[in-house]
Amino acid sequence: MASLNITKARANFPALQSGFIFADNAGGSQAVRGVVDRISDYLLNTNVQLGADYSVSVLSTDRVASGPDIAVKLFNASSPSEIVYGSSSTLNLENLARGLEPTIEAGDEFIVTGEHEANTGPWKKLAARRGGVVKFWHAVPTSPDNPYSVATRIEDLLPLITARTRIVAISACSNILGSIVPVKDVVQAVRREAAAKGAANVEVSVDCVAYAPHRRIDVKEWDVDYCVFSWYKVYGPHCSAMYVRSKALQSSVTSIAHHFLSVGSTAYKLQPGGPGYELVYGTTGVLPYLLSLVPPPANVASSDDPTIAHLDAAFAAIAAHEQELLKPLLGFLTAPEQVARGVRIVGTEHSGLHRVPTVSFVVVGPQAKRSRDIVEVFDRKGGVGIRWGHFYAYTLIDDLEPKLDTADGVVRISLVHYNTVAEVQRIVEILKEALL
Ligand SMILES: Cc1ncc(COP(=O)(O)O)c(C=O)c1O
- pLDDT for 225 equals 98
* Probe residue for ligand 1, chosen from 115, 392, 396 as the CB with the greatest number of ligand atoms within 8 Å: 392
**Do 117 and 97 touch, CB atoms closer than 8 A?**
no
- pLDDT for 7 equals 97
CATH fold of 6-31+307-434 reads Aspartate Aminotransferase, domain 1 (3.90.1150)
* Probe residue for ligand 1, chosen from 29, 175, 360 as the CB with the greatest number of ligand atoms within 8 Å: 175
Packing angle between helix 33-45 and helix 55-75, nearest 10 degrees?
160
Q: Which of 172, 143, 116 has the alpha carbon at shortest distance from 389? A: 116
**Do 275 and 87 touch, CB atoms closer than 8 A?**
yes
Between CA 200 and CA 164 the distance in angstroms is 8
> Which residues in 334-351 are b (16+ Cβ under 10 Å) and which e?
beeebbebbbbbbbbbeb
Nearest-CA residue for ligand 1 atom 9 is 88
CATH fold of 42-291 reads Aspartate Aminotransferase; domain 2 (3.40.640)
Using the mean position of ligand 1's atoms as its centre, give its distance from the Cα of residue 28 in Å: 9
**Do 281 and 265 touch, CB atoms closer than 8 A?**
no
Using the mean position of ligand 1's atoms as its centre, give its distance from the Cα of residue 89 in Å: 6
Map residue 359 onto helix, strand or coil. Answer: strand
- pLDDT for 14 equals 94
- pLDDT for 13 equals 98
3-state class percentages of the chain: helix first, strand second, coil last, to nearest 5: 45, 15, 40
* Probe residue for ligand 1, chosen from 91, 95, 230, 240 as the CB with the greatest number of ligand atoms within 8 Å: 230
Q: Looking at ligand 1, which atom is closest to the CA of residue 207?
A: 3
- pLDDT for 371 equals 98
Q: What is the DSSP letter of 355?
A: B
- pLDDT for 1 equals 84
Amino acid occupying residue 74: L
Q: What is the DSSP letter of 163?
A: T
Residue-range domain boundaries for the chain:
6-31+307-434, 42-291
Task: List the pLDDT tens digit at each of the 436 positions of the chain.
Answer: 889 999 999 999 999 999 999 999 999 999 999 999 999 999 999 999 999 999 999 999 999 999 999 999 999 999 999 999 999 999 999 999 999 999 999 999 999 999 999 999 999 999 999 999 999 999 999 999 999 999 999 999 999 999 999 999 999 999 999 999 999 999 999 999 999 999 999 999 999 999 999 999 999 999 999 999 999 999 999 999 999 999 999 999 999 999 999 999 999 999 999 889 999 999 999 999 999 999 999 989 999 999 999 999 999 999 999 999 999 999 999 999 999 999 999 999 999 999 999 999 999 999 999 999 999 999 999 999 999 999 999 999 999 999 999 999 999 999 999 999 999 999 999 999 999 9
- pLDDT for 334 equals 98
Half-sphere exposure of 431 (CA within 13 A, CB side): 29
